[in-house]
A and B are shown apart, each in its own frame.
Chain A
Amino acid sequence: MKTPVSVSRLPRGPDPNSRGFDPSSPRYIALCHTTGTDAVHVEEEQRLRTELRERFLRSLILMSNKEVYFSMYERVQVQAKFGASDIDILNFQVSDLQTPLGVQKEAILRCQDIISYSFDL
């Protein structure tokens, strides 16, 4: 019987958590013309991103206990008193949610269903 050819390992399969194209691979670093590969640009972009993130988080704090108007998919408009957001900004906890079917005392709104929301400062 013939001996099967040995292999050092098997081919690596896909990463279930990402679409790949590793930005730290030599090919990516050499070929990807990213706007601002130099340290100065990256720092500035990070600074701006930090600022925007902080403003967003502060806006969530400001929103608590205020009446917020939500525009959702399927042309749904609702309003409710905002309670809190979860840590990943996936769900909003609200009270007295006014819906066409009546007022829901406590509810959770899925952020992926929300297109936009507004409130008065």
Chain B
Amino acid sequence: MAMRQTPLTCSGHTRPVVDLAFSGITPYGYFLISACKDGKPMLRQGDTGDWIGTFLGHKGAVWGATLNKEATKAATAAADFTAKVWDAVSGDEILSLAHKHIVKSVNFTQDSNCLLTGGNDKVLRIYDLSKPEAEPQEIAGHTSAIKKALWCNNDQQILSASEDKTIRLWDRNTKEAVKTLSFEASVSSMEYIADGEILVITYGRTIAFYNAHSLDLIKTVDAPASIHSASLHPDKDFFVAGGDDFKLYKYDYSTKEEMESYKGHFGPVHCVRFSPDGELYASGSEDGTLRLWQTAVGKTYGLWKCVLPEELSSENSDALYCPPPEIKA
């Protein structure tokens, strides 16, 4: 029996959600951090969306947020010209790294020892978190603001996407640009999949997949609307994308066919990411909410319950919440 997707809405933010990231799978499950223009990034339990805590300290919009693999540390990039490192268990601020302009992106290395930052001052910075007082290593080259900076290829290289319409691959040691990709338009998002070395890039209405080592194009897919973010499923069988038309799209990665589209958000979708186990994906929107969507609709997982038709009409259905059809504004 075909079932209709019930997205789970995580409220709490008061302004647009511009970035989100999942941790790896830890003994306590996996976690999700959301960056919001209200300046208060939040940590949530990844499979349920339950709020765990809010990182308080930034004095401006938070543009980027990330968690380390173990979800013990968080990092945020903000319009108050700082990147901050947080203890993701206690919620305490550990470090505040001053920058010369709005910081847009933060990313930990696999061992959580180094933090990569990038922002409007066009410079990539590498901070050694064991020596926070020391000056960061700097990599210059971009001619416009950096939107996203990621470690890749075993933390030996760095991928950066900028408003200068290029994506550059840098060698971490020589600080030289190994390769550059140029586009007609500014890249709206970038995702790096370590397992398989795939880079997912979005620009205009296109979702493009590249080999992260060679930066060779694998394939491109065009969506019905301008796309702000896309994410590839860990098993690489599908990918999801969202953008200007408020919808979430699900595509078959091999055939490039659009499989499903989901309405739900009341504003453009700014970010979308698959969970580390691929069972759900989270989207952040201009409407200030995060929504969790099931990959396999109808499956029992997290807060979603697979209910057989008989159970729905029996007395046992008191514990279940059957959402009414969405009221369209």
Contacts and interface: CB of A to CB of B under 8 A. Distances in A.
A19 B53 contact: yes
Given A7-B303, A13-B11, A21 B1 contact: no
Given A12-B51, A14-B51, A7 B305 contact: yes
Q: Would you call the interface of chain A mostly helix, strand, loop, or mixed? A: loop
Contacts, number: 105
Given A5-B297, A8-B303, A8-B319, A21 B2 contact: no
Contacts of B6: 4-7
Nearest to B26: A27
Interface in B7-59: 8-12, 28, 42-44, 48-56
A20 interface: yes
Given A2-B3, A19-B91, A21-B90, A11 B325 contact: no
Interface residues of A, number: 26
Q: Would you call the interface of chain B mostly helix, strand, loop, or mixed? A: loop
Interface residues of B, number: 45
Contacts of A13: 10-12, 51
Contact of A4 (B90, B91, B322): B322
Contacts of B303: 7-11
A32 interface: yes
Interface string A11-30: 11111000111110111100
A29 to B, nearest CB: 10
Nearest to B322: A6
A-B CB proximity, top 6 nearest: A20-B53, A11-B49, A21-B91, A21-B53, A2-B4, A14-B12
Interface of A: 1-15, 19-23, 25-28, 31-32
